[in-house]
Amino acid sequence: MIDKQHIIDRFIKYVTIDTESDPNNPEFPSTENQWNLAKVLEKELNQIGMQEVELDKNCYIMATLPSNLNYKVPTIGFVAHIDTSPDFTGANVKPQIIENYNGKDITLNKEKNIILSPDYFEDLLQYKGQTIITTDGTTLLGADDKGGVTEIVTAMEYLINHPEIKHGKIRICFTPDEEVGKGAHLFDVEKFAAKWAYTMDGSQIGELEYENFNAASAKVTITGKIVHPGYAKGKMINSILIANEYIAAVPENEVPEKTSGYEGFFHLHDLNGNVEKTVLEYIVRDHDFSLFEKRKELLQKIASDFNKRLHQDLVKVEIKNQYFNMKEKITPVMHIVDIVEEVMKDIDITPLIKPIRGGTDGSQLSYKGLPCPNIFAGGHNFHGRFEYIPAESMIKATEVIIGIAQKVSEKFK
């Protein structure tokens, strides 16, 4: 159905364009290099025959595949993001193609002895005999979410080239800056004009998600007092030591590396300081809204308790909500999830319906009035040197998009 080499070539073209986003830049997009892929996609969408192709001033690309039906069905959409994570470099990506994977260690970089091993990444064994695309061990790959971008473009191209496949109007959008939490901020839902949509931004084959974390960031600022250490008794206040106590007061088992499923966490991801000032950066996550609120309250209470004990207001916590669980917005329209589940089963994919332990543009879009569950893009080990994606998973994800278009045309006839 989908030509494997064609989808591999398209994916490699996209991932070799550096689109790393920048969490410290408030501009849209946060990096100029995201325009490079956006312009490639704008040209390619026009070439394959998409209509109403528009690249706006904020680096959002929208396009339309018109309906080929003689009756009206809901307009649906597909969304993916073009940026890659700033957690690990996405510059100078050199993909490697492993054909007919044998289930053994893959040497990513012989010189640096970087090995992708099924002994550690056991999911690899699901893909024996398949074609796996990896990094060279020095960068991330960018399957998050250029896998999704590849699949959407390929599906649209296939539908254009096969008009015998019936479908309603389809809208697509590629967003910038998803990896820094801004992907949906300037998304024009009214202009997109779809009844609902799907983000193609999940991981392994079969993933189907309509629940995600409630999320907040927390900045803990601890103020100390610098005094010459030889004369410091009773005068110096070492903010680093207070920060150490603060960290110890946060539940030690409620961290990402010790939680799974619906379990929430506190994640200390950055620490910077000296005697006079230390700043701790946390992210706070929980699927349950009441537990989410309690987590934020706990961070404030720890600060309040410290300030009372120290008889000074030395610890300050600033909390900002980032996004909320889209389950509240998807549950009333669960038929849009059911459609995907049916399509997956039709093409022999076992649906893996589970909560997202992270965020998605779909969450913010759902709260902006565009219900938007998340579907697998096929990659593994995102945001690092061990990232990989099977070509066969990209093909299956493309078939899911095509199947959804068909299923909607049948269900709403």
Smallest CA-to-CA distance from 55 within 29, 16, 31, 84 is with 29
Give the contacts of 110 (CB within 8 A, at least 6 positions apart): none
Number of domains in the chain: 2
Smallest CA-to-CA distance from 91 within 19, 11, 12, 175 is with 19
Name the 3-class secondary structure at 67. Answer: coil
Q: Are residues 203 and 221 in the same domain?
A: no
Percent of the chain clearing pLDDT 70 (strictly above): 100
Q: Which domain-ending residue is among 322, 355, 371?
A: 322
Element housing 383 (H / E): none
Q: Are residues 150 and 70 in the same domain?
A: yes
Q: Are residues 91 and 152 in the same domain?
A: yes
Q: Are residues 191 and 98 in the same domain?
A: yes
The token pair at 11 is: 């994916």
The token pair at 246 is: 């603060």
pLDDT band at 1 (very low <50, low <70, confident <90, very high): confident
- For the entire predicted model, the pTM comes to 0.88
Q: Which domain-ending residue is among 322, 337, 365?
A: 322
User: What CA–CA distance (Å, rounded) separates 301 from 298?
Assistant: 5
pLDDT, one tens digit per residue, over 360-385 is 788 999 999 999 999 999 999 999 99
Q: Are residues 250 and 306 in the same domain?
A: yes
Q: Are residues 232 and 203 in the same domain?
A: no
Q: Which domain-ending residue is among 293, 322, 351?
A: 322
DSSP string, 77-117: EEEEE--B-TTS--TT---EEE-S--SS-EEEETTTTEEE-
What does the pLDDT average to over 258-267? 95
pLDDT band at 398 (very low <50, low <70, confident <90, very high): very high
Smallest CA-to-CA distance from 83 within 151, 39, 139, 144 is with 144
User: What CA–CA distance (Å, rounded) separates 192 from 197?
Assistant: 10
CATH number, domain at 255? 3.30.70.360
pLDDT, one tens digit per residue, over 110-131 is 999 999 999 999 999 999 999 9
User: What CA–CA distance (Å, rounded) separates 80 from 277?
Assistant: 40
Q: Are residues 202 and 236 in the same domain?
A: no
pLDDT, one tens digit per residue, over 269-294 is 999 999 999 999 999 999 999 999 99
pLDDT value at 358 more than 80: no
Mean pLDDT of the chain: 95
Q: Are residues 276 and 193 in the same domain?
A: no
Q: Are residues 192 and 251 in the same domain?
A: no
CATH number, domain at 32? 3.40.630.10
Q: Are residues 172 and 257 in the same domain?
A: no
3-state helix, strand, coil in the chain (%, to 5): 35, 25, 40
Task: Judge if the upstream peptide bond of residue 22 is cis by omega within 30 degrees of 0.
Answer: no
Q: Are residues 197 and 111 in the same domain?
A: yes
- Residues spanned by the domain of 306: 214-322
pLDDT, one tens digit per residue, over 180-202 is 888 899 999 999 999 999 999 99
pLDDT band at 322 (very low <50, low <70, confident <90, very high): confident
Q: Are residues 74 and 193 in the same domain?
A: yes
Q: Which residues are catalytic?
A: 83, 178
Name the 3-class secondary structure at 199. Answer: strand
* Greater model confidence, 301 or 358: 301
